[in-house]
Chain A
Amino acid sequence: MASKTGSYGQGMFGHDDLGSAYAALAELDEVALLLGALTVEGWQGAAASAADQARIAHVGAVRRVREDVRVLTLLLQRREDLRNLLGAA
C-alpha cells in the first residue's frame, strides 16, 4: 500500500507484474503438459473417445489462454521498457 504515497519503489514499476505473468505462463505450461500426457489407456469402448475429445478440447483451451498470457508478458515488458526510459530521463 506504500504505492499510494507515490513512491518510486521498484515494485511500482511493474517488475512484480512481469514476474507474475511469467509465473502464470509457467503454470499454464504445466497444465498443458499434464493434460497432454494424459492417456485413456485401459479404457476402451464406451466413453473413451468422448473422454479423449474432452481432453483435446481442454488442451486447446489452455493453449489459447497461454497465448493471451504471452501477449500480456509482451505488453508488460514494453511498459517496463518505457518506465526504464522514464527513470533515466
Chain B
Amino acid sequence: MTSSWYWVRDATTAADPESIARAATRYSMAHDSVRSAMTTLWSTDSRLGINLVVPLLHPVAAPQYMAELADLAVQIGLVLERIYEDLTILARGLQEHAAHLGMTALIYSSAEADVTAHIAMCRTLASVGCFAGSSGFTSATLLSSLPRYVSGMSGSQAGDSEQDPFTDPRLANFSGVEAQQQIGAITAGAGDGITDGAGVSALSARLSSLWRTLGFPPWARTSGVVVSGAGGVLWGGLNQSDHGSRIRRVNLQPRKLEHSHSSFPSRGAPAPLPVRWAGDAHPAQKAAAAIMHSEPRGILPVFAKGPKRLGFDGIGTPRTAGQLLARISHSSASGSAGQVQVLRHRSSVSGLRSWSVVISGTKKWVPRTLNPQDMGSNFQELAGEISDQHVSVRLAMELAGIQPDEPVEFVGHSQGGAVALSLAADPEVVAEYSVVSVLTAGAPTGPVMPGKVPVLALENLADIVPALDGRAALVGEHQQVVYFDAGGLGPQKAAGAHSSETYVEAANKLGSQSREDPALRSYREWEENRAKALRLGGDTKTKTLFFTTTRVSGSIGDATVGAVGLPGSAGVGTFEKAMLASRH
C-alpha cells in the first residue's frame, strides 16, 4: 500500500480543497468501517474456542464429524488470522491516507487565503479525525504557545544557543504541523473577523511587526558587516540615506581588490578606507583583522597566506537540487563569524562562467551576535527588512567577482532560503546580476517572491520554520512549492524535520521520482532549466570560494571613529562617515 508523500503547488496545479477534504472524510469513514468489521469478527474469534469444545461434549458425536470439525477449526483459525492481519494493514493505510488527504486539503486551502473556508475545513477535518492539531485556532492558542517557540529560538536555555530548536525531536512531526497551523491561523486572523486576502496580508504584517519588536531594540543598529575572502575585504551596511544604492560598502583591503571584479559596475569598485590597520582601530578594522587572522574550524579563507590560497576548493559540479543542497553542509561558522559559499562553474572549453551562491541557515539562535547568521537577521528577514546576512551575501558576491552577464543562482536552507529569495527579489540585485534560479529548503518564503526568476521551494510538512512568516508561499508562472512528508523518508528523517540533511534526501528522492512521475514534471523542468540557465555541461568544472562574514560591533556614532582618523561630522553615523571618507 503506497500513498503520496509529496505535493506540488504551482501555477498549473488545479486543486479543489473541498473535494480533497471530502475524500479525506470518506477515507476516514472507510477506516471506521474497517475497524468496525474487525470488532465484529473479534466476537467470532472470541467464541471460536468455545464452539470447538462444545461438540466434543456431545454424547453421541460421530467420529467423522469430529474429525471434520477439528479440521474446520484449524482452517477458520488460519483464515481469521489472515483477515486480522490484512484488516490491520488496511485500517492503518486508510487512516494514513485520510490524514495525508486532510493535510493536502489544508495546504491548498491555506494557499487560497480564504480564511473562513480554511478555518471551517480545519474544524471539519478535525471532527472526523483527519487532522488532530486543529483543536483551537484562536489568538489565545498561539499566544500561549509563543513563549515556547520564542524561548526555543532565542536559546534561552543556558549554554544551548548553538542548538537548532527546529531540529529538536520534541518539535518534530505533530508539534511542527500544529505550530504551522497555529501560526498560520493567527496570522490569518481567525478570531479577528478578517476573512479576505487583504486581511491576511495586513495580519501578516502584524506578525512581521511582532518579530521586529522582538528582534530590533536595542541591538538592530549595528555598524554593518565585514566580509573577507577571494583576496579582498569589504565592509558594508545599509545606506542611511535614500540616495543611491541601499547597500554601501567600504574597501578595507584596496591592494587586493585591484585584482577583483566589482559587481557594482555602474558605481565602480569601492574606494579604500583611509585608515591604519593596527592599534586603536575602527570596529570594522578590528572585525576585518579578527577574521583575517583566525581560522575557525580550519576551512575559512585565509587570503593572507597568498594569492594561491584564496579559499578555492575544487568540487563536483552540483547538477541536481539534491546535489546543490548538499553543499550547504559544507558551510561552517563560529560564534563570531559566519560563512557564505560561492561556487564558480567554468566551462573548460568556452571559458564561460556561472555561479551558485550557497547560503546556509541560522547558526546562532540569539540576536545581537557577531555572526550575521543569527536571530537578528531572522527577525530582519521576517520583518521584510534587508538583513545583515543579505548584505553579507552581496559583499561576498562582489568579492567573488561575479560579472553582470554571468548567470547566478541562489540556494539557501532556512534563513539562507529567506535571504536567497530576498536577494532574488531585490531590484538592485536583479539590475546588477543575471539571476537565473532560486532553490530554498525549509525557508519562510511568504514575505517575498521574485517575479520572473524560477523558484523551487521545498517544505517539509513537519517543519515549522516555513510557517514562521505566517503566510503561504506565493506561487506563479515561475515559482513552485513542493511539500513533502518526511515520514516518507523514514522515521529518522521525520524526526529531523528541519535539518538540511532531510531536505537533501527529499530532493534526491524527488529528483529520482521526477523522471517517471508526471506529478513531478514541473520539478524535473526546474532542474533541467536550472542546468541550462547556468550552462552546466560535461566540460564544467566547479570551485568553491568561501567567504567569512562578521558583524561590526559598536554602534553608530562610536567613539572609536576619531581613532581611525575619520572626519567626525556631527549627526552622521560611523558608517556614513567612513563612506564620506572613502570618497575623498
Contacts and interface: CB of A to CB of B under 8 A. Distances in A.
Interface string A65-89: 1001101100110110011011001
B90 A58 contact: yes
Interface of A: 3-4, 6, 8, 11-14, 16-17, 20-21, 23-24, 27-28, 30-31, 34-35, 38, 40-51, 53-54, 57-58, 61-62, 64-65, 68-69, 71-72, 75-76, 78-79, 82-83, 85-86, 89
A23 B47 CA distance: 16
A72 B519 contact: no
Given A16-B43, A41-B19, A75-B72, A64 B86 contact: yes
A50 B4 contact: yes
Given A58-B97, A75-B75, A82-B68, A44 B13 contact: yes
B470 to A, nearest CB: 24
Contact of B2 (A20, A53, A76): A53
B21 to A, nearest CB: 11
26 contacts: A3-B50, A4-B50, A13-B51, A16-B47, A23-B37, A24-B38, A27-B40, A34-B33, A38-B27, A40-B23, A41-B16, A44-B15, A45-B13, A46-B8, A46-B13, A48-B519, A49-B517, A54-B97, A58-B90, A58-B94, A62-B90, A72-B41, A82-B68, A86-B58, A89-B58, A89-B61
Contacts of B7: 46-47
B69 A58 contact: no
Most buried by B among A46, A53, A83: A46
A31 B16 contact: no
A72 B33 contact: no
Which 4 pairs between the two chains have the least Cβ-Cβ distance?
A: A42-B16, A46-B8, A50-B4, A42-B19
Contacts of A54: 1-4, 97
Interface string B23-54: 10011011001101110110110011011011
Given A43-B14, A65-B86, A27 B72 contact: no
Interface of B: 1-4, 6-10, 12-16, 18-20, 23, 26-27, 29-30, 33-34, 36-38, 40-41, 43-44, 47-48, 50-51, 53-55, 57-58, 60-62, 65, 68-69, 72-73, 75-76, 79-80, 82-83, 86-87, 89-90, 93-94, 97, 101, 104, 517-520, 522
Given A50-B519, A68-B79, 19 more contacts: A13-B54, A14-B47, A16-B44, A34-B33, A38-B23, A45-B13, A46-B8, A47-B6, A47-B519, A49-B519, A57-B2, A61-B89, A65-B86, A79-B69, A83-B55, A83-B69, A86-B61, A86-B65, A89-B61
A75 to B, nearest CB: 5
B3 A6 contact: no
Contacts of A75: 72, 75-76, 79
Given A46-B7, A47-B7, A20 B54 contact: no
Contacts of B517: 49-50
A30 B20 CA distance: 20
A72 B82 CA distance: 11
Given A27-B37, A72-B79, A85-B65, A57 B1 contact: yes
A63 B373 CA distance: 56
Nearest to B6: A47
A14 B12 CA distance: 58
B555 to A, nearest CB: 49
A42 B19 CA distance: 7
Given A17-B51, A40-B19, A79 B1 contact: no
B44 A6 contact: no
B36 A27 contact: yes
Contact of A43 (B15, B30, B89): B15
B491 to A, nearest CB: 21
Contacts of B29: 34
